[in-house]
Amino acid sequence: MRRRILVAMSGGVDSSVAAALLAREGHDVIGATMKTFCYRETPGPTKTCCGLDGITDARRVASHLGIPHYVFDVEEEFTRDVIDDFVGEYGRGRTPNPCVRCNSNTKFRDLLSRAVALGCDGIATGHYARLERRGAPTLLRGSDREKDQSYFLWGLPAEALSRLHFPLGALGKGEVRKRARDLALATADKPESQEICFVPVGHYRRFLETRLPPGHAALTPGPLITTRGDVVGQHRGYAGYTVGQRKGLGGGFSEPLYVLEIRPATREIVVGRREELYSSRMSVGALNWLVPDPPGEGRSVRVQIRHRAPDAPAVLLSVGVGSLELEFETPQRNVSPGQSAAFYDGPVLLGGGRISGSARKGAGSQ
């Protein structure tokens, strides 16, 4: 069935091939690139999926495919939903995932509103994820587990699933590159961008210094303490640290130490041994379910707490409105407040939320 589909074209190879595949299937395809921040004022890199090079490359691919291309200015929405959240989370001693926020808001919610205005039936992206449309639409992992990006999509509005398309869901990266070359797309050999689009590589602390008020606690030195409360050093500001981090703690210790916990109220960073990084329980807030019948108390699920990390079996101990607590079958390492937890039943993405705390093995809750 021929549809009118708005494709998010970042200027990378994945979104380029997604647009090309839909066009070859006979759909009425429109390309769209989201201008997410002011390139003149924000010290971010230009060669990212959201930089000026991305807009240029997306336009070149759209011209090659013979499809219209639009640039939508969503700087205000992106700043509110992604950048301000990023800064605020670090200010609270948490470690955010801006890609999840961007997908949950800018790339889908905001793009969908533009699609409606253009009379489109749906939207598509180059994510490696799949949709099953028998009965209620169900979001699945991409067929290539190494490239699967469903982890970043738990925050999508469930009502939008019926209008989404993921043309690359059944493909691997090698096949996508090959198809891009066969189609003579300008982005066929463009390298992938790994950095945060609005932050210069390796300089997120410097970015925070431009956004947080002068003298903010997150950028102020404070004590490094052990789980017993002994002061063993000083940090440069807790915004520069995350759970599991070893680098930047100084030397002179009898054994390697890692960040176990960040306490913004007292500006303390708790450090300890590697074996103390494991958590047996985890609490999750800001829940969003993508299935009509969400799992309840006592249900076994699989949980992914980092991109590219394997999912781990867990049991839901309690499920409330917007939050839950679970127990891992095997304690998990580096459970970081602010990061995402995605829940699965096999390949099906049930939903997810933000990690709000954990109980380290043999310790109290963070």
The rounded distance, in Å, linking the Cα atoms of 331 and 359 is 10
The rounded distance, in Å, linking the Cα atoms of 355 and 75 is 27
Q: Which of 49, 50, 99, 102 is catalytic?
A: 102
Quick check: 212 pLDDT over 70? yes
**pLDDT for 77:** 92
The whole-number average pLDDT for the span 16-43 is: 85
Quick check: 318 pLDDT over 70? yes
User: Could you confirm whether 102 is annotated as catalytic?
Assistant: yes
Distances (CA, A) of 196 to 45, 208, 241, 277: 9, 13, 17, 26
Quick check: 30 pLDDT over 70? yes
Quick check: 123 pLDDT over 60? yes
**pLDDT for 292:** 95
**190 secondary structure, DSSP code:** P
Burial class (CB in 10 A: 0-12, 13-18, 19+), 226: middle
Q: Which of 49, 50, 99, 197 is catalytic?
A: 197
Give the chain's mean pLDDT. Answer: 91
Cβ atoms of 140 and 150 closer than 8 Å: yes
Distances (CA, A) of 120 to 73, 112, 123, 138: 19, 9, 8, 21
**Cβ burial 213-225 (10 Å sphere, 16+ → b, else e):** eeebbbbeebbbb
Structural domains in the chain plus CATH codes = 4-182 (3.40.50.620), 217-272 (2.30.30.280), 278-360 (2.40.30.10)
Q: Which of 193-197, 241-245, 289-293 has the lowest mean pLDDT?
A: 193-197
Cβ atoms of 46 and 52 closer than 8 Å: yes
Cβ atoms of 70 and 218 closer than 8 Å: no
Match 């993508």 to its residue by tokens.
290
Q: How confident is the model at residue 363 (pLDDT cuts 50, 70, 90)?
A: low
Match 């336009």 to its residue by tokens.
59
Q: What is the pLDDT of residues 134-156, one digit of tens each?
A: 888 999 999 999 999 999 999 99
The rounded distance, in Å, linking the Cα atoms of 260 and 335 is 9
- Structure pTM? 0.92
User: Could you confirm whether 120 is annotated as catalytic?
Assistant: no
The whole-number average pLDDT for the span 113-131 is: 95
Q: What is the pLDDT of residues 36-84, one digit of tens each?
A: 876 545 444 444 555 678 899 999 999 999 999 999 999 999 999 999 9
Q: Which of 166-180, 249-263, 305-319 has the lowest mean pLDDT?
A: 249-263
Quick check: 293 pLDDT over 90? yes
Q: What percentage of the chain reaches a pLDDT higher than 70?
A: 93
**18 secondary structure, DSSP code:** H
Quick check: 365 pLDDT over 80? no
Cβ atoms of 90 and 239 closer than 8 Å: yes
Q: Who contacts 123 (Cβ-Cβ below 8 Å, separation ≥6)?
A: 5, 6, 7, 8, 108, 111, 112, 115, 163, 164, 165
